[in-house]
Structure 1
Amino acid sequence: MLNLDLQYFAADEKTEKATPKKRQDSRKKGQVPKSQDVNTGFLLLMVFGLLFLMGGSLKETLTGIFQHSFQEYITWEVTENQVYTVFVETLLEVSKVVVPLMGIAIIAGLTSNFLQVGVMFTGEPLKMDLKKLDPIQGAKKIFSARALVELVKSLLKISLIGTITFSIIWLNKDHMLMVSQTSVEGALAFFGRTAVIMGLASALALLLLSVLDYSYQRFDHEKNIRMSKQDVKDEHKNMEGDPQIKSKIKEKQRQMSASRMMSEVPNADVVITNPTHYAIAVKYDEDKSDAPYVVAKGVDFLALKIKETAKMHDVITVENRPLARALYQHSEIDQSIDEQFYKAVAEILAYVYQLQKKA
């Protein structure tokens, strides 16, 4: 009994790598290795990179909005048309700042996801699953090894990014203290440049961490989709078909074919027999075929049924051992007989037609 239990646990242990079908099924469910840090780091890098390249023009656009508002709009009368004009012009100017940032953010999000999981469309993660509301399962996730890894990763990110931003501020502390002595434009330029440098440095740090996180996510994903030996066997059975079910299907198909074949025996012109083991029902219909063709054939029990059916419907039976055996081996149902049997079958059919004429 102990040996059986050990064998059962050994068979149920997840020791096998996932098969291609298992991977495909997991992908359809949205279960793929993916790191959110890759998305965040790539997004920050692209956005702050855009600010680094276009920061000057974006600043000019924003300051232009304020200048225009306080120098021109403030002198306008408050009327419906004037308010509409102010709204449209301001919206167009703001869109010059917002649209590039939103566009680069969308491109960054799509690119980072594509690099990790490729093209994938699935609605499985959006389906309602009551198991997700199970408090016991939720508690297990909170105190799981994965939760511990996420905690360590979060603390590492906070520490690393905090250190980077503090270091940049510390290096620029002297300049920062002198900002009060500069113009507004100079102060804005300094703080904008410092913010962009901190953003780019933080993004690079996150991307560095994301490489480690993505490696862990792949490892964890591979571990979660592992299969037991029994799972592999069951999957193989499902793909190839259960042998017992396949044999039953084939048996059912044979029965249906035999039943359909037996229904054609009463229409045959003659049944050629062995006489015990073989029986071949032959018919000649010049409208259907230029040569005689086989409507039913069988050996042993099926041959006996063919002969019984022929007797019940007054179909003549002729014994010809070599011809019966040869026709069985070289002829198919609903197919014309081979040319080599034309003469022998024609003689039998002539004999049968003579008997029918006399009757």
Structure 2
Amino acid sequence: MEEKYQVLIPLNLQFFAKDGEGGEKTEQPTSKKLSDARKEGKVAKSKEVVNGVALLGFFLSLRIFLGFAGVRFEEIFAWIYAIIPDIIKMNGDGFTIQTATGIFRILVVKMLIILLPFLLIGFVTGFVGNLIQVGWKPTMKPLQPKLSKFNPISGFKRIFSKDSIVNLILAIAKISLVCIIAYNSIKDQANHLFLLYDIGFKAALSLIFQIIVNIGMKISIVYIILGLADYVYQKWKFTDDMKMTKQEVKDEYKNTEGDPQIKGKQRQRMMESSQRRMMKNVPQADVVITNPTHIAVAILYDNTKDEAPRVVAKGEDYLANRIKETAKEANVPIVEDKPLARALYATVDVDETIPPELYQAVAEILAVVYTERNKAV
């Protein structure tokens, strides 16, 4: 008879857990996780918004400062042509490296003066484009070198990842859209371009610049629209990537707020310690006012320290019975007054004086207690 053997293979069920973090990421990211991600430089932003705003700023600056730049270029050409005869007159000993360096420095300064408005506007628009998306909270962590960035395997994964493919498709779509806009704009200006042979040099340059600026403005606006759509997508993708598993939320709560079980035990110990201190004050009380079965409030009036009677202990149910038992052992009078006991328990905390609206009711009870005490003496 053939024997059958049963083979048992131990399996760790944790291998079947999604994401390796105790389940599927279904919980919205907490403020702490978003804050930690922000410190690491991980934010939801679209480069297309920045590029679109920067392009728009550049072409607007071209339209505004084109006249300024044209005049400055004419001055540079006039200056260069003016110094050419002087350079020619110089012999081999006169035209030195120092002379060439001086001319080059002057030329660089003049060019910087022309480019300065465009550079400033480009910087401001790029800065504002980022600031609008992510706010102002600079961090240097993204600039810190990481060995993982030099891992060729990780690099290939990034190159052939889903995000890279999506970005490639978007890049092709953007280039195609830019080409279509440029073609249509040039097509509309075809009649003007044929006039370039019949107009002067300055007028031709002005016409060319005007066409370029108009095309650039249209491309910039389209870029901004694409950037806004991309920003919405990046915002959704970032939130989806930041989602947490239920276990991650629990672990974060434990790390920030502490283990709920430990905190519960700590609160219990604090309450027990507070109750012990409170019970020590009961024998010193002048009177204990009861409900009579559910509430007990111990009152002490020391006119040398307090302006009004003070609650030194209070409790309900089990604690109320303990207060009454301690009061009996210490021969502290117990007076039944349901409305007053409820009012004191609800409105006055331990070691606080009673409110003025309860002065008369408490004073009447204390007067009776003091009278009985004097008679006993």
TM beyond 0.5: yes
Find 1:50's aligned residue among 51, 56, 61.
61
State whether residues 265 and 306 of structure 1, in contact with CA within 8 Å, keep that contact through their aligned partners in structure 2. yes
Are 1:123 and 2:139 an aligned pair?
yes
Partner of 1:352: 373
Query: How big is each residue's C-alpha offset from its partner over 1:45-73, in whole Å with a ceiling of 9 and x where there is no partner?
Result: 33233334432331221231342355269
Query: How big is each residue's C-alpha offset from its partner over 1:142-181, in whole Å with a ceiling of 9 and x where there is no partner?
Result: 22221001112233344555677689599699788x79xx
Find 2:215's aligned residue among 189, 201, 204.
201
The whole-number CA distance in structure 2 between the counterparts of 1:158 and 1:278 is: 80
State whether residues 278 and 298 of structure 1, in contact with CA within 8 Å, keep that contact through their aligned partners in structure 2. yes
SS in 2 for 1:281: strand
The whole-number CA distance in structure 2 between the counterparts of 1:124 and 1:290 is: 60
The whole-number CA distance in structure 1 between the counterparts of 2:85 and 2:373 is: 117
Are 1:102 and 2:119 an aligned pair?
yes
Deviation at 1:304, TM superposition (A): 5.5
SS in 2 for 1:316: coil
Q: How many residues align?
A: 338
The whole-number CA distance in structure 1 between the counterparts of 2:259 and 2:81 is: 81
SS in 2 for 1:317: coil
Cα RMSD, aligned residues only: 5.3
SS in 2 for 1:133: helix
Are 1:330 and 2:333 an aligned pair?
no
Partner of 2:275: 258
Query: How big is each residue's C-alpha offset from its partner over 1:6-35, in whole Å with a ceiling of 9 and x where there is no partner?
Result: xx86x944567x579589648845554433
Find 2:361's aligned residue among 340, 351, 357.
340
Are 1:318 and 2:339 an aligned pair?
no
Q: Which amino acid is 1:123 matched to?
A: T
Partner of 1:151: 168
Query: How big is each residue's C-alpha offset from its partner over 1:97-119, in whole Å with a ceiling of 9 and x where there is no partner?
Result: 1221122212322343355x163
Find 1:218's aligned residue among 211, 232, 252.
232
After TM superposition, list the pairs within 5 Å mapping 1:159-174 onto structure 2.
159-161=176-178
State whether residues 295 and 341 of structure 2, in contact with CA within 8 Å, keep that contact through their aligned partners in structure 1. yes
The whole-number CA distance in structure 1 between the counterparts of 2:374 and 2:55 is: 95
Query: How big is each residue's C-alpha offset from its partner over 1:256-295, in whole Å with a ceiling of 9 and x where there is no partner?
Result: 4323323433533455678987654332211233544331
Q: Which amino acid is 1:152 matched to?
A: I
Q: Which amino acid is 2:219 matched to?
A: A
Percent identity between the aligned chains?
27
Shift in CA distance, 263/189, structure 1 to aligned 2, threshold 3 Å: farther
State whether residues 298 and 306 of structure 1, in contact with CA within 8 Å, keep that contact through their aligned partners in structure 2. yes
SS in 1 for 2:305: coil
The whole-number CA distance in structure 2 between the counterparts of 1:163 and 1:291 is: 87
Shift in CA distance, 127/54, structure 1 to aligned 2, threshold 3 Å: closer
After TM superposition, list the pairs within 5 Å mapping 1:185-196 onto structure 2.
186=201, 190=204, 194=208
SS in 2 for 1:41: helix
Find 1:287's aligned residue among 304, 317, 322.
304
The whole-number CA distance in structure 2 between the counterparts of 1:101 and 1:278 is: 80
SS in 2 for 1:350: helix
Query: How big is each residue's C-alpha offset from its partner over 1:62-95, in whole Å with a ceiling of 9 and x where there is no partner?
Result: 231342355269759999xx99997997676444
The whole-number CA distance in structure 2 between the counterparts of 1:84 and 1:354 is: 115
The whole-number CA distance in structure 2 between the counterparts of 1:251 and 1:165 is: 74
Deviation at 1:222, TM superposition (A): 1.0
State whether residues 281 and 296 of structure 1, in contact with CA within 8 Å, keep that contact through their aligned partners in structure 2. yes
The whole-number CA distance in structure 1 between the counterparts of 2:137 and 2:291 is: 65
The whole-number CA distance in structure 1 between the counterparts of 2:370 and 2:100 is: 105
- The unaligned stretches of length 5 or more in structure 2 are 1-12, 88-93
State whether residues 295 and 342 of structure 2, in contact with CA within 8 Å, keep that contact through their aligned partners in structure 1. no
Shift in CA distance, 153/326, structure 1 to aligned 2, threshold 3 Å: closer
- The unaligned stretches of length 5 or more in structure 1 are none
Are 1:133 and 2:149 an aligned pair?
yes
Are 1:60 and 2:76 an aligned pair?
no
The whole-number CA distance in structure 2 between the counterparts of 1:22 and 1:207 is: 36
